[in-house]
Structure 1
């Protein structure tokens, strides 16, 4: 079964590594899905919103190794 797997978690959608990783995945033709992207941007606006929500970037199992290679190629 080819299910989505979380390969990275980011704390902000303004994180340069996050933006670069998404762009590099697009260029490699790797489809991804984002979980909590909207929730993380409204953090603090809604009372009781957890402050530790991270943006999860998921790819299909078949693309995990390639996505991790791309992620590891990005210097912090």
Structure 2
């Protein structure tokens, strides 16, 4: 079973990242990662908003169709 890494493993991963990318590139990488996550969340929010609008439009059509009968 796969579990979350502990404190020791996280420190080793952080050390390896520091060695691979250097101290100057880590803030740039973190900034880019944060921007990517923010854009992804905004995209999900837009999709959810569009789905809600479509659902509301379908509900209005159903209720208006029932009243005409």
Higher normalized helix content (fraction of residues): 2
Q: Which has the higher contact order (CA 8 A, sep 6+)?
A: 1
Query: Quick check: TM above 0.5?
Result: no
Q: Which has the larger radius of gyration?
A: 2
TM-score scaled to structure 1, two decimals?
0.26
TM-score scaled to structure 2, two decimals?
0.28
Higher normalized strand content (fraction of residues): 1
